[in-house]
Amino acid sequence: MIIAVRRELEESADEKTRESGQRFFKEEAKFLGVKAAVVREIAKKRFREIKDRDKEEIFALCEELLKSDYGEEAFIAFEWAYSLRKRYEPSDFSIFERWLSQYVNNWAKCDTLCNHTLGSFVEMYPEYVARLKGWTGSENRWLRRAAAVTLILPARKGEFLDNVFEISDLLLEDGDDLVQKGYGWMLKEASKKHQQEVFDYVVKNRGRMPRTALRYAIEKMPEDLRRRAMER
């Protein structure tokens, strides 16, 4: 299966797409050069061929793809993992956490794994949000970003508001701009259902909150609130 996936990706790759993909990253990121829509189609098509296998076997295939370090293969791995969400068990958290630590090395991999796979997991098992808070103290910038972006989709639905603020508190003065953007994005999503609460949080903390995080957090608010939030 892995050989078939890699052959299909290589046949769909082109240099122009590879070069344009690299422009979105400050750090070196490995890409074959396959358009996102094509990668998504390959992921869906190949998952239909393996969906009846044991979850552990599919996770092992995911890990084999992750070892290559190519962005497209990571996307397929995380898409397959997300497709198994109805079969998640608490013990799966340690697998996802290990993938984060070992294989995630740019924001795209981080967000793809966290927004969907991990986000769905914590909605099923809310007690694991406590583990996200532990990531905020990691030396690994992607674990710190993951602590926030895992809650993006639940926060958009209005869920986990207290946890959104607790994680923001823990990351508040983080010096890494990609971590700042991560928790600012989480606050922005939370503001869609809890605008006043997020506004009050931003105003209370704007003296310590980096401008990058602040701007992300208030991006979807009305102009008058944005202007008030930016006042020093």
Q: What is the pLDDT of residues 136-175, one digit of tens each?
A: 999 999 999 999 999 999 999 999 999 999 999 999 999 9
Count of C-beta atoms within a 10 Å radius of residue 198:
28
What is the C-alpha end-to-end distance of the chain, expressed in Å?
57
Q: pTM for this structure?
A: 0.93
Q: CB under 8 Å to 143, separation ≥6 — which residues?
A: 100, 101, 135
Residue 104's H or E segment, with its range, is none
Query: Using an 8 Å Cβ cutoff, are 151 and 121 in contact?
Result: no
Mean pLDDT of 50-69: 96
Residue found by looking up tokens 């030396």 in the block:
139
Mean pLDDT of 35-46: 93
Q: Say how far apart CA 156 and CA 153 lie, in whole Å.
A: 5
Query: Using an 8 Å Cβ cutoff, are 77 and 43 in contact?
Result: no
For the chain, the domains span: 1-87, 92-232
CATH of domain 92-232: 1.25.10.90
Which tokens hold the place of 105?
């090395």
Has residue 232 got a pLDDT over 80?
no
Q: What is the pLDDT of residues 60-119, one digit of tens each?
A: 999 999 999 999 999 999 999 999 999 999 999 999 999 999 999 999 999 999 999 999
Q: What is the pLDDT of residues 180-200, one digit of tens each?
A: 999 999 999 999 999 999 999
The predicted pLDDT at position 13 comes to 83
Q: Say how far apart CA 51 and CA 103 lie, in whole Å.
A: 23
The predicted pLDDT at position 78 comes to 97
Has residue 27 got a pLDDT over 80?
no
Please give the mean pLDDT across all residues of the chain: 94
The predicted pLDDT at position 32 comes to 85
